[in-house]
Structure 1
Amino acid sequence: MRAIMPLTHQEISLRSVRRRDIRTLERLLVTDREWLRPWEASTPGIRYPLDVRFMVGSLIAQARNDSGLGLIIEYQGQIVGQINVAGIQRGSLSSATIGYWISKKVAGNNITPIAVALTIDYLFLEAKLHRVEIDIRPENTPSLRVVEKLGLREEGLKKRFIHIDGDWRDHRIFAITSEEISGSLLNRL
């Protein structure tokens, strides 16, 4: 998938992650460690330091081979979070999964719902995907509020789905298809 031009709504914009974002992302992820740790994927039996350089390189490689897309969330010109589009499938599936995080200092300002709506609009209208899924831990109230605001439908529960913060965690499944939106998902906000 080619790098996307900035997607913008008011003071919020999204753009493809770049290598020069590494230091800023690392600073944000370290500063908000306790805020983000309960929701971040981990590897069973391994505690490893945050490797933002590897993460950014991996996201850029995934964009090149059209299997994923890393997006930077900017608010008032400052990097405040990230959206990852993973598992892009073409053909008969034509789907992807979205994950996201936002800095604690700007959480609760409707930035994440707008950024997720911009991303889904891009995936449906430009990338021509059919279905987008978001998987959320049942305890993650702020993320559950995002999918509620956007009107994504709940499809069920994936038991012990992703290893997060040292254990296998359940996730509620939310999804939307292109037929469920008339125009832009951003219009739902």
Structure 2
Amino acid sequence: MAPLGRSIDDPGLLVSGPVALRVIHAVDAEPLRGLLASNRPWLQQWEATHPSGRGITPGSVSMRPTVRILRRQLRAGSGIPMVITYRGEVVGQLSVSEVSGGALQSAQIGYWVSEHVAGRGITPVAVALAIDHLFWGVGLHRVEICIRPENAASLRVVEKLQMRYEGRRQGYIHIDGAWRDHDCFAVTREDAPDGVLRRITA
């Protein structure tokens, strides 16, 4: 898949009620590092790992170099790295990746939120805000989310957003030390002509 072929503009603040999304900035490095460190048992089972066993434990070092690398995705037209906020507090991340132009016009979304705000309906709203921006702000046609079949909380997110199940990818991503299956869900602009956010706020 080829990147979009142009840089991606910063969308500013995407907001619905107390939930908001914005592009990650250097000032977010320390809040995110703290959340990753304090949420190790909560997040570790869903985190990507390197098959060789190499890698740095999330939250154990400064996030500033990572933030700089993530922000380059905007200029490259390959992704949109964002933070999720709730009532103004940074509570997680949402990553738009694998952005493709040409005949595909698609992207993938991944996300996490801190355990202390889980269950408040934050993630479905954040994901819906991102999808609607990708459709009508960036001009993409299709967005997909791949989820481990054991991840009941994430499966509830795509269920609330009424995303279409498109099948299982065997041994798709190396997660928590092993190759894990993922279920793929997708939505296109034709599927949601009034926006995905309306599906949960109407």
For normalisation by structure 1, the TM-score amounts to: 0.97
- Partners of 1:168 and 1:6 in 2: how far apart? 36
Once the two structures are superposed, residues 101-127 of structure 1 have per-residue CA deviations (whole angstroms, 9 ceiling, x without a partner) of: 000000010000000000000000110
SS of 1:134's partner is strand
- Which residue of 30, 36, 39 corresponds with 2:37? 30
Give the superposed CA RMSD: 1.0
> Quick one: which amino acid aligns to residue 137 of structure 1?
R
Q: Which residue matches 1:116?
A: 127
For residues 95-134 of structure 1, the aligned pairs below 5 Å read 95-134=106-145
Q: Flag structure 2 segments of 5+ consecutive residues without an equivalent.
A: 1-7
Q: CA–CA distance in 2 between the matches of 1:174 and 1:81?
A: 21
Distance in structure 2 (CA, Å) of the matches to 1:54 and 1:158 = 32
Query: Tell me, which stretches of 5 or more residues in structure 1 are unaligned?
Result: none
Aligned partner (choices 135, 156, 161) of residue 145 of structure 1: 156
Match of 2:26 in 1: 19
- CA offset at residue 183 of structure 1? 1.3
| 1:81-104 Cα deviation digits (max 9, x unpaired) | 110000100110000000000000
- Looking at structure 1, the residues matched to 196 and 11 of structure 2 have their Cα atoms a distance apart, in angstroms, of 18
**Match in the other structure for 1:9:** 16
Q: Which residue of 1 aligns with 2:5?
A: none
Answer with 177-186 or 110-119: which moved more: 177-186
How far, CA to CA, are the matches of 2:143 and 2:16 in structure 1? 21
* Segments of 4+ moved more than 4 angstroms: none
Match of 1:185 in 2: 196
Tell me the TM-score normalized by structure 2.
Answer: 0.91
Aligned pairs (5 A) from 1:23-172? 23-49=30-56, 50=58, 52-172=63-183
Aligned-partner SS, 2:140 = coil
Taking the aligned partners of 2:90 and 2:186, their CA distance within structure 1 comes to 27
